[in-house]
Structure 1
Amino acid sequence: MGTNNVVFLELIEWMDDTGQDIARRFPQEGSGEIKFGAQLIVRESQRGVFFYNGKAVHVFDPGRHTLKTANIPILNKIMGIPWGLTSPLRAEAYIVSTRIFPNLRWGTREPVAFKDTEFGLIRLRAYGVFNIQVVQPLLFINSLVGTMPSFGVTDVADYLGRVIVSRFNDFMGEELKTILELPGRYDEWSEGLTQRLRQDFARFGLALDQLFINAVTPPPEVQKAMDDRTKLGMFGDMNRYMQLKAAAALEKAAQNQGSAGESMGMGIGFMMPSLMAQCMGAALQQPQGVPQAPSSSPALSCPECHAPIRPEDRFCPACGHQLVVFTQCAHCGKNLTPGARFCPRCGEKVETQPPQSQRCGHCGGENLPDARFCNHCGERLQS
């Protein structure tokens, strides 16, 4: 793009070679003098946002678009004489990638405190992966990108990972009593945690496509205690244990040479049908788990009437609600118009500053503003 030329118009397009950038500003250095008639090329996996004189003007869908500003070639240099041949009519264009960014990692940097009914206060480590997608480009730029020349997944993954860990801690405190119940619940927890986090991500114009919990690991001493309990459970049915030991002894004796081994082998032949029948009967009595098909990620819905919408829709086809979000109410999530001081839905005053983090009254640890359990001591936070 020629930003320093006098006559030629700009051609604005973006091809991300790294695959790690979410948004890119044009021009890259400072503000620009995008001329009248400049061409903006937006591809299928992108959205374009045009700013003029510091204000967002329009969100562009995929295609070729002509930008109309007051910066006319040659004349803009004459008009900019009092400002050092720089036009005061500033314009910038942002191109935002709307593809899904997969395999972003989240995990606990420090062990998270959890009050277990069986083992007392223990510290757990957890980690997994999640996928994000930009669904509100304008809200994403206003809330996260700001005036940065480029914005990548590494700029936001660390903060979102902290949010996931905090919500995961709250989820454990409400859904789990002891880690002995943890195996086999990863899929159920992943779905529940995804539903809880979608509102947190929506405040930044992002959608949480999927979230997976790979592992939740207790400290070594707790793992040893769990192994001991597992061994006791294995030997709970002494009849089966004695049958297995007897079968192993008979098989070993049958391998010995001589008349005794032959006689023992004949005895095994008579006893094997009985042992097999008992083992098969015990296996049939055990309930078999039925695998469940993984649930697909729910489609986008209107925040007002919850009707299904498409990513490219600007208004809800059911209720007409405006889907292009400038900012949202921190209390009820209502879309707010630029300059609004009070929310039209709940009447709360619009917060201009982000909410402050809250400290635990027991250990003084710092947590997210609306966390329910402390990440440091596991105690419930006072609301």
Structure 2
Amino acid sequence: MGIFDKIKEKLSHEFIDIVEWLDYTDDTIAHRFERYQNEIKNGAKLIVREGQMAVFINEGQLADVFKPGTYDLTTQNLPILSTLKGWKYGFNSPFKAEVYFVNTTLFTDEKWGTKNPITLSDDRFGLVEIRAFGTYAFKIEDAGKFIIDIVGTDNNFTNFEINEHLKSLIATRFTDTVGEANLPIELYAANTSELSETCQEVMKPEFSSVGISLEKFYIENVSMPEELKKEIFEYSRLDKIDLDKLTRFKTAKAIEAAAHNEGGTAGAGMGMGMGFALAQQMGGMMSPQMGQQQQMPQQQQNQPAAMPPPMPQAVQYFYALNGAQSGPVSYEQLRSYFASRTINKDTLVWKAGMEGWKALSDVEELKGFLGGNTPPPLPM
């Protein structure tokens, strides 16, 4: 290259008369306009296209910000830069300033997710862990603040460079929000829309502090361990059905199964036990026939046969559920409700003979629910 070519090249770089940026990528957020020694010709044209903003930086300080349009770069169009430079009467020579073009279009379908499980406390299931993931959309709202606080001197700032920071911010604020929501664990997956809106409102100020606007935030899924899912499903079923009817149904099925097991002594014993329980419920129906059968042998005997004393009456309990009185139920039914978490140690209970309602954990014969598997002795 000859000496005249070098001079021509230098002059072509030195006297820039059009300042513009054509973005051929889909992930660039900020691009620094490059030219020889940062010099721009006096009276040069600045072209800012739709979806862009131009930011002028002078010696590390924010100077002027231009919205979409075409501008002649003079002291009239550079008021802040003119003040910083001390141009009182205009300028005729090229001036120095860093020019950044900022992409202000909407960046959509950005992914986020919790790297580690979030531990929550639930009244019924104790400590549980959940994970969540989804998408969000953002755009640059304050180009000057974004350049000063985030971009710095990076000549080509991409979406990838900001994403890690934003995803960490989202995960932190999401954890705080779900912790403060204090919802029953099964409702997190059923209320993703409401939870998404709440999280977006919480995160907006954090994004805005660096010149970014959080436009959309979606929670696509809230997941939990499989064993916890099964436990929640079982609990929901028990919460919807009548446990008394379920107990009678299972008793009848057990008797039917025992009747088919003719060769097994264990099955016969179970059938006798279940039959006795069922007989108590059907006593009203069968008592006339039983009475006729007992009268015949009594007429043939000279002395009345010795009869066993009547079975002691089972203790019946009342309990408080959702602010209403429920019951009465037997000891075993109350125990099954405790095992299925329908009631707990703080549930109020009462039986005949008690002065008032007491917490389940304060009733002596019910303390076995809390840690042991052995019921109290039968009343004498």
- TM-score class, shorter-chain normalisation, is 0.5 to 0.7
Alignment of 1:188-199 (within 5 A): 188-199=194-205
Alignment partner, residue 182 of structure 1 = 188
Indicate yes or no: 2:229 matched with 1:223.
Answer: yes
Q: Distance in 1 between matches of 2:229 and 2:121?
A: 16
Q: What secondary structure, in the 3-state scheme, does the structure 1 residue paired with 2:190 have?
A: coil
Indicate yes or no: 2:97 matched with 1:91.
Answer: yes
More helix by share: 2
Alignment partner, residue 209 of structure 2 = 203
Q: What secondary structure, in the 3-state scheme, does the structure 1 residue paired with 2:138 have?
A: strand
Q: What secondary structure, in the 3-state scheme, does the structure 1 residue paired with 2:134 have?
A: strand
Of 229-238 and 196-205, the range deviating more from structure 2:
229-238
Alignment of 1:1-383 (within 5 A): 5=12, 8-27=15-34, 32-68=38-74, 90-232=96-238
How far does the alpha carbon of each residue in 1:326-348 deviate from its partner, in whole angstroms, 9 at most, with x for none?
xxxxxxxxxxxxxxxxxxxxxxx
Q: Distance in 2 between matches of 1:6 and 1:141?
A: 25
How far does the alpha carbon of each residue in 1:49-71 deviate from its partner, in whole angstroms, 9 at most, with x for none?
112343322111111122348xx
Larger RCO, structures 1/2 (Cα 8 Å, 6+ apart)? 1
Query: Amino acid of the residue matched to residue 14 of structure 1?
Result: W
Query: Amino acid of the residue matched to residue 139 of structure 1?
Result: K
RMSD in angstroms over aligned alpha carbons? 2.9
Q: What secondary structure, in the 3-state scheme, does the structure 1 residue paired with 2:111 have?
A: strand
Note the C-alpha offset of 1:89: 6.0
Query: Amino acid of the residue matched to residue 177 of structure 2?
Result: F
Q: Percent identity?
A: 33
Q: Distance in 2 between matches of 1:8 and 1:177?
A: 64
Of 170-179 and 188-197, the range deviating more from structure 2:
170-179
Q: What secondary structure, in the 3-state scheme, does the structure 2 residue paired with 1:5 have?
A: helix
Query: Amino acid of the residue matched to residue 103 of structure 2?
Result: S
Q: Tell me if the contact between 1:3 and 1:27 (Cα under 8 Å) persists in the aligned partners.
A: no
Q: Distance in 2 between matches of 1:142 and 1:207?
A: 16
Q: Distance in 2 between matches of 1:10 and 1:146?
A: 25
Q: Distance in 1 between matches of 2:226 and 2:147?
A: 44
Q: 1:50 to 1:193 in 2, by over 3 A?
A: same
Note the C-alpha offset of 1:142: 0.6
Q: 1:226 to 1:159 in 2, by over 3 A?
A: same
Q: 1:237 to 1:179 in 2, by over 3 A?
A: same
Q: Tell me if the contact between 1:125 and 1:217 (Cα under 8 Å) persists in the aligned partners.
A: yes
Q: Distance in 1 between matches of 2:40 and 2:225?
A: 58
**Higher CA-based Rg:** 2
Note the C-alpha offset of 1:34: 2.3
Q: Tell me if the contact between 1:36 and 1:68 (Cα under 8 Å) persists in the aligned partners.
A: yes
Q: Distance in 1 between matches of 2:69 and 2:10?
A: 22
Note the C-alpha offset of 1:6: 5.6
Q: 1:67 to 1:231 in 2, by over 3 A?
A: same
How far does the alpha carbon of each residue in 1:309-367 deviate from its partner, in whole angstroms, 9 at most, with x for none?
xxxxxxxxxxxxxxxxxxxxxxxxxxxxxxxxxxxxxxxxxxxxxxxxxxxxxxxxxxx
Query: Amino acid of the residue matched to residue 34 of structure 1?
Result: I
Q: 1:202 to 1:4 in 2, by over 3 A?
A: farther
Alignment partner, residue 260 of structure 2 = none
Q: What secondary structure, in the 3-state scheme, does the structure 1 residue paired with 2:22 have?
A: coil
Q: Distance in 2 between matches of 1:31 and 1:215?
A: 52
How far does the alpha carbon of each residue in 1:224-278 deviate from its partner, in whole angstroms, 9 at most, with x for none?
21232344456559999xxxxxxxxxxxxxxxxxxxxxxxxxxxxxxxxxxxxxx
Q: Tell me if the contact between 1:53 and 1:90 (Cα under 8 Å) persists in the aligned partners.
A: no
Gaps of 5+ in 2: 1-8, 76-92, 247-380
